[in-house]
Structure 1
Amino acid sequence: MLRSQIAIDPRDLMSNFIQTLRFRHLALVESLATHGTMHRATEALNMTQSTGSKMLMDVEAMVGCPLFVREPRGMRVTEMGELFVAHAREQLGRLRRFEEGFSAMRQGGYGTLVVGAIMGSAPDLVARTVAEVKRARPHMTVRLVGETSDQIISLLERGDLDLAVGRVSDPRAREAFRFEPLADEPLAVVVRAGHTLDSPGRPLSLTALIAHPWVLQPTSTPARRVLDAAFAEAGRQPTDVVEAVSIFGILHLVQQSDAVALLPLAVVRDHIRAGLLAQLQMTEMMSIAGFGLITRRDAPLSEAAAMFAAALRRNAHVSEEASEALST
């Protein structure tokens, strides 16, 4: 009988984990999944290949099934291995977070809070909340990780984040995470101040803007998907296009050219108030799914994370009121 076919009582397996697994076992499995070969994995951990091979044999003996398939060009993770790798990354992430927080507190600080955020959508909300928390805890280190929602979910699952501000689009992820809506996300069509389109008058249709140059976000972003759908409905696509990943790059390009851009209102609000950009009146109202507070269902928030979440909720109401005032 193959080892992968051996029936194992989950309670026995968990007992083995608790009693026998060590940090280096988890680190080796995670490193093998990351690097793909025993040579690179053990090199990253500063151990010999023979030690790594022996440790992997020990781990696979504990769980009763192979975690990797040895192939000519490296090592491929098995289906059971994927589950183990996810467990290893989660535990290692929590250990690293504990080490950082413990070290900071030992040196007289107040620990570390790591927040994942889709900064292109909620920069003012997150920044206001960080400022509020830092006023209350000036010696606590707050680290912001700005990624896409999918990347944030992955980091949160691994235990690398305390909480996150983003979206949960995958129904399966909603089983593992709590999602608390914070704000809707209206979009704004903007040009530089003084642009020929920057004049009061009748609202413009998207069709009337297609002939103008555009600065677009990548096709994978929610705002771009909304815009592409609107272009498709109009039956035309802009031909004078610059595509930029960086929100800040888009803002600079719009200010220095005659290009049009569609961005979250929260991103451009301060630029509009400062007279750097002008929001065009549009006949179409465009928005994307609102973002919210994302936390793990199986892990309670630390005291610092709970404090941040409470401040985030308060500030979300302020941002929502400001957005409504600016968009009317």
Structure 2
Amino acid sequence: MMLDGDWYLRSRLKLRHLKLLVVLADVRNQAEAAGRLATTQPGASKMLAELEAMVGARLFERTAKGALPTPQGEILIRHARWILGDLGRLGDELEASGDQLAGELRLGTNSSSAVCLVPRGLVLLRQSAPGLTVTIHEASVESLLPALEARRLDVVVARLGRATAGAAYEQAALLEEPMVLAVAPGHPLTAHKSALSWRDLGDYPWILPPEGSPVHDALILLLDRHRIEPRVLARSASILNNLALMETAGALGIFPAAVGREYQRRGLLAALPLALPPVFGPIGIITLRGLAPSPALAAMIQSLQTSAQELKTSAQS
């Protein structure tokens, strides 16, 4: 499939073709896609045939699970989402081209930054840009990065590591956030009055972070160094799920220090007196490489940087 640089002009590609691609990818049913686009099924079939003729490739295959994109279809769908999303953001920027920033930002975060850094940053952003709305998506960094690449997120705030170092991303460290090991209140390990040793931890089940995350990789190295083969109960990035498993199964979990302090204050966990070395990587901002930030995103990044600086100053005082 060879396409010249201006193929979309000569083939009369229209936005309705891109909308059909995105909707059909989401619903996987041509009749339903036609209904959502306020057209007929024959009309949707015609648009899809036009698009396939433009690029010289089949874009969807009919299967028992519905209309599934081919590899070429996946490529076009990804770019269609980018283009339609950029047009929506273009409208926001034109509307906010005066003195007041407006529109919506979509921020992805994980537990490392969701407790203190991001909320404080949002308060600061609200003060400087009250017309902006921020939608927050909380998940593991492994789930957030594909959404960033697909332009469903504008920025990710998470712990930096191997996964975030890809060529597609720009990353900037904000602050170091230590980690703590924790158990449920009343766990046998809380009876230790002095510092624990790694040997004390070996008999209990573990809740590990998702594989590939910076905290998972660093924790596995620490466990290997201390010759501990963890009994893995679960791999989870959900704080609520981890708290429940710690309570019901007597498991150990690992948390950002700020998260540990907050939930210990609420009586939901007990941090263990075992100092962890600073090997887990900093928390930082991740954006797509090569994309200049909009004024709204630049304001969000500035607020996060100020939030990080305030947290560092507070920790030193």
Q: How many angstroms apart in 2 are the aligned matches of 1:226 and 1:94?
A: 37
Map of 2:79 onto structure 1: 87
1:185 touches 1:287 (CA, 8 Å); kept in 2? no
CA offset digits 1:25-78 (Å, max 9, x no partner): 101112333344433433443432211111112223333x11425455454434
Map of 2:230 onto structure 1: 237
Map of 1:147 onto structure 2: 139
Give 3-state SS (helix, strand or coil) of 1:175's partner: coil
Which amino acid is 1:296 matched to?
L
Give 3-state SS (helix, strand or coil) of 1:89's partner: helix
Q: How many angstroms apart in 2 are the aligned matches of 1:143 and 1:9?
A: 38
Map of 1:13 onto structure 2: 7
User: Structure 1's 213 and 147: CA in aligned 2 closer, same or farther, altered over 3 A?
Assistant: closer
1:149 touches 1:168 (CA, 8 Å); kept in 2? no
Q: How many angstroms apart in 1 are the aligned matches of 2:192 and 2:309?
A: 30
Paired residues, number: 312
CA offset digits 1:86-134 (Å, max 9, x no partner): 110111222344567778x7xxx85233232323111210010001111
State TM-score, norm by structure 1. 0.77
Q: How many angstroms apart in 2 are the aligned matches of 1:101 and 1:271?
A: 39
Map of 2:45 onto structure 1: 53
Identical positions, percent = 28
- C-alpha displacement of 1:185: 3.8
Which amino acid is 2:77 matched to?
V
CA offset digits 1:154-188 (Å, max 9, x no partner): 333333333221347458x7433311122234210
Give 3-state SS (helix, strand or coil) of 2:45's partner: helix
Q: How many angstroms apart in 2 are the aligned matches of 1:170 and 1:212?
A: 29
Give 3-state SS (helix, strand or coil) of 2:189's partner: coil
2:118 paired with 1:126: yes
User: Structure 1's 263 and 83: CA in aligned 2 closer, same or farther, altered over 3 A?
Assistant: same
User: Structure 1's 219 and 301: CA in aligned 2 closer, same or farther, altered over 3 A?
Assistant: closer
- C-alpha displacement of 1:257: 8.0
User: Structure 1's 195 and 158: CA in aligned 2 closer, same or farther, altered over 3 A?
Assistant: closer
1:70 touches 1:76 (CA, 8 Å); kept in 2? yes
1:90 touches 1:157 (CA, 8 Å); kept in 2? no
User: Structure 1's 182 and 111: CA in aligned 2 closer, same or farther, altered over 3 A?
Assistant: same
Q: How many angstroms apart in 2 are the aligned matches of 1:301 and 1:140?
A: 15
User: Structure 1's 196 and 315: CA in aligned 2 closer, same or farther, altered over 3 A?
Assistant: same
Q: How many angstroms apart in 2 are the aligned matches of 1:92 and 1:15?
A: 17
Map of 2:292 onto structure 1: 300
User: Structure 1's 152 and 260: CA in aligned 2 closer, same or farther, altered over 3 A?
Assistant: closer
Give 3-state SS (helix, strand or coil) of 2:231's partner: coil
Q: How many angstroms apart in 2 are the aligned matches of 1:49 and 1:129?
A: 47
Q: How many angstroms apart in 2 are the aligned matches of 1:323 and 1:209?
A: 29
Q: How many angstroms apart in 2 are the aligned matches of 1:309 and 1:259?
A: 37
State TM-score, norm by structure 2. 0.79
Gaps of 5+ in 2: none
Give 3-state SS (helix, strand or coil) of 1:143's partner: strand
Gaps of 5+ in 1: none
Map of 2:303 onto structure 1: 311
User: Structure 1's 315 and 211: CA in aligned 2 closer, same or farther, altered over 3 A?
Assistant: same
Give 3-state SS (helix, strand or coil) of 2:152's partner: coil
Give 3-state SS (helix, strand or coil) of 1:188's partner: strand
2:206 touches 2:230 (CA, 8 Å); kept in 1? no
Map of 2:108 onto structure 1: 117
CA offset digits 1:238-283 (Å, max 9, x no partner): 37x4665521332465478854321122321333466764432326
1:93 touches 1:158 (CA, 8 Å); kept in 2? no
Which amino acid is 1:155 matched to?
A
- C-alpha displacement of 1:288: 2.2
